[in-house]
Amino acid sequence: MLGTVKLTCIVLMLAIATPVLLGWLLPWVGAQLPGDWFLMKANTALAFLLCLGNYQLGGLHPNRLRRGAACLCAFLVLLLSGTALLGHLSGRTFGLDTLLAADTAADLPGRMSLQTALLFLVVGLILVAESSLRGPWRNRAADSLSIAMGAMILIIIAGYSFKASQLFSQSSFTVTSLQTLVCFVLLGTLVIIRRTDSGFFSLLVGEGIGSLIVRKAIPLALLLPFILVGGAVYAISAGWLPRAYAAALISSITSVMLLVLVMLLAWRISESTHALQASERHNRLLLNAVGEGIYGLDLEGCVTFSNPAACQILGYGAEELLGAHMGALIQPGVPATRAKGSGTEPLDEVYRVQGEQFWRRDGSSYPVEYTRTPLKKDGLVVGSVVVFNDVSERRKVERMKDEFISTVSHELRTPLTSIKGALGLIVGNKLGEVPAPAQRMLQIAYDNSHRLEQLINDLLDINKLQLTNNNFQLHPLSLETLIDKAVASMQGYAGKYGVHILWHPGEGADTRVLGVESRLMQVMSNLLSNAIKYSPDAGEVRIESRVLAERVRVSVSDNGPGVALEFQARIFERFSQADSSDTRQKGGTGLGLAITKEIVEKHGGTLNCISTPGEGACFSFELPLNPATELA
């Protein structure tokens, strides 16, 4: 909407000012224009075009060159208007007045009227303020001058409306003509539209109750005085009313209209206030009803609000939390710049944390999960909201479940070992020949006992990893040597599937990481076995390593069927397997990638999967470099 208005104003100003300027410069153009075109002087038309130049050059985010050109246009407008004003005050004719062209009138040839010069002086100062000033003074100066400009335009309109020529002219040839007045109205509209980006005039386009009231009241405030006074003047001139009666009638009607306007505005404000209070009560009820703890933080990490659940979990009252620095409460003794959940994390993005510890008022700690979301106003972060939950009970249940699985797995391992051993002896004909039909069934039983043993071993492994709170005891390792060992150990398995493993370390490469060799070998074996298993016959599995700043990334890629898009989000969860017959035929427990993820994370790394269905998959993990590693 505003863009259309701006374009219309610019086009109309160009359509008026450009022909007038050409008419003064080229007599044959002037001969084609309407008879009173010369009432807009050449320097007036030029000033309007310079104002448009400033407006276009000084738009949003101008570079240094455009800002300089905009300032030049503004100073030229000030020069033209200042020269005209000096001429009016001194009674002299300056060369600048007639530089472009001179009319043949005897009084002040070529000079713009006093009112026009004053308006251009104010407009020029507005343009200079917007083009060169910075900070709060820019808005204050530009807003004040814009109000003065609007008042001067209204005075000239009133002069024309009530035939008060002293308000818009000095003589029949030195006059703020109608075409000049139209251009000033268009220019004033452009100036005010640009001022709506910030400052006082942003009320015109805002969404609050104040903006709504302003938009409804402005048309009435502009039109009512002209309608009342114009009607009274006409009634007096027509002899319908004596002057005293007309004055009394205008005063009473104006008072009534203003009273009605004030009452309507007050009613609207009251309605909006009640609606706002109802919305605030509703939001407060929702906030209080949420079971998770919620609190707000300012940019310094101090609490701005909290809900009852947060107070209950933390052990503080709402009044005690308000204004307190959250870091000092939930993690006492930890520097504010390092305290979690206190607003010191990156503020311009959503921040999710699991496995963190908070402290209650009584000094007891408890595990929490929390999400911190930035609060933004006009594109700038002004604070954040933290939603957290005490996960003690959930962790307790998970630990009980893990301990139960671990216990059951241990208890199953011993009899399963005996069963598998006995089946192995029978299948191997160590106890005598077995009939062929029975041999087939015994082989199936032996294979499934092996698969069950693998599942139990994986269960024990992942529970051991998850029940271990601390990270591994890490030692310096050569990554290239580790990958060489993993490739050598998987060559037999790859040959079974007819798959080639491609790994070409850089000559002399010796990337050092901190880790546990057996666990990192387990990571490589899991990733390689999966890639080999899902590769087509004569397929290739590629291994690449790349140093990235203070980390190293190892990638294992295949050209198999890839991972379905809907499955990628949960591929690292326990017992996750794509539900397809082809995948089930490949076997597996669904724990390999979950174990791999636990191992990588305990090394301070991350595990990722990138896959396009039908084009293969790429699993990669990143590990921190050993500080002694020298980067090329």
In this structure, the answer to whether residues 524 and 597 fall within a common structural domain is yes
Q: What is the mean pLDDT of residues 182-210?
A: 81
pLDDT at residue 11, as a whole number: 92
12 plus 119 within the same structural domain? yes
**Domain identity same for 124 and 251:** no
Percent of the chain with pLDDT over 90: 10
pLDDT digits (tens, 9 = 90+) for 422-474: 877 887 777 778 787 787 788 878 777 777 777 777 666 666 666 665 566 78
Residue 621, pLDDT score: 93
From edge to edge, which strands make up the β-sheet containing 540-548? 500-503, 540-548, 551-558, 617-624, 606-611
- Is the model's pLDDT at 275 over the cut of 90? no
What is the predicted pLDDT for the residue at 138? 77
Greater model confidence, 2 or 552: 552
**What pTM value is reported for the model?**
0.46
Q: Looking at the structure, tell me whether residues 524 and 411 fall in a common domain.
A: no
Give whole-number Cα distances, 304 to 301, 320, 384, 455, in Å.
Answer: 9, 11, 10, 51
Residue ending a domain, among 258, 289, 320, is: 289
Of 136 and 384, the one with more pLDDT: 384
Query: CATH number, domain at 450?
Result: 1.10.287.130
509 and 484, same structural domain? yes
Q: Inform me whether the pLDDT recorded for 337 exceeds 50.
A: no
* Range name among 146-155, 430-439, 452-461, 552-561 with the lowest pLDDT average: 452-461
Choose the final residue of a domain: 328, 356, 390. 390
- In a shared domain, residues 348 and 201: no
Same domain, 17 and 72: yes
pLDDT of the residue at 466: 64
Whether residues 386 and 501 fall in one domain: no
* 306: CATH: 3.30.450.20
Concatenating the DSSP letter of every residue in 445-503 gives HHHHHHHHHHHHHHHHHHHHHHH--SPP--EEEEHHHHHHHHHHHHHHHHHHHT-EEEE
**Cβ count within 10 A of residue 243:** 10
Q: What is the pLDDT of residue 627?
A: 73
Q: Is residue 249 part of a domain?
A: yes
Q: How many CB atoms lie within 10 A of CB 207?
A: 7
Helix (H) or strand (E) holding 259: helix 243-289
Whether the predicted pLDDT of 556 surpasses 90:
yes
Residue that is written with structure tokens 């343009």 in the block: 127
Largest CA distance in the chain: 137
Please check whether residue 630 lies inside any domain of the structure. Answer: no
Classify residue 611: in a domain, yes or no.
yes
Say whether pLDDT at 590 is over 90: no
The residue that leads in pLDDT, 222 or 471, is 222
- State the average pLDDT over residues 211-215: 73
Number of domains in the chain: 5
On whether both 520 and 479 belong to a single domain, the answer is yes
Q: Is residue 233 part of a domain?
A: yes
Residues 553 and 598 occupy one common structural domain: yes
Last residue of a domain, one of 181, 205, 229: 205
Q: How far apart are CA 554 and CA 3, in angstroms?
A: 52
DSSP helix/strand/coil, 556: strand
Q: Average pLDDT of the chain?
A: 79
Answer yes or no: do 306 and 269 share one domain.
no
Query: Within a domain: residue 123?
Result: yes
CATH assignment at residue 523: 3.30.565.10
Residue 583 has pLDDT above 60, yes or no: no
pLDDT of residue 173: 64
Residue 631 lies in a domain: no
Average pLDDT (217-236) is 75
338-356 residue pLDDT tens = 445 545 555 667 888 877 8
Two structure tokens written together for 339: 């305290």
**What is the three-class DSSP state of 617?**
strand
Distant-in-sequence, close-in-space partners of 584: CB < 8 Å, separation ≥ 6: 577
Question: Does the pLDDT of residue 226 top 50, yes or no?
Answer: yes
Question: pLDDT value at position 99?
Answer: 62
Distance CA 457, CA 452 (A): 9
Q: Which domain holds residue 83?
A: 2-205
Residue 239 confidence (pLDDT) above 80: no
Higher pLDDT, 41 or 579: 41
pLDDT in tens, 621-631: 999 888 765 44
Tell whether 605 is covered by a domain.
Answer: yes
pLDDT at 177: 85
Rounded mean pLDDT, 385-396? 84
- Predicted confidence at residue 314, as pLDDT, reads 84
Shared domain for 170 and 268, answered yes or no, is no
Q: Is the four-CA dihedral 294, 296, 297, 302 of positive or negative sign?
A: negative
**Residue 547, domain member (yes or no):** yes
Higher pLDDT, 121 or 418: 121
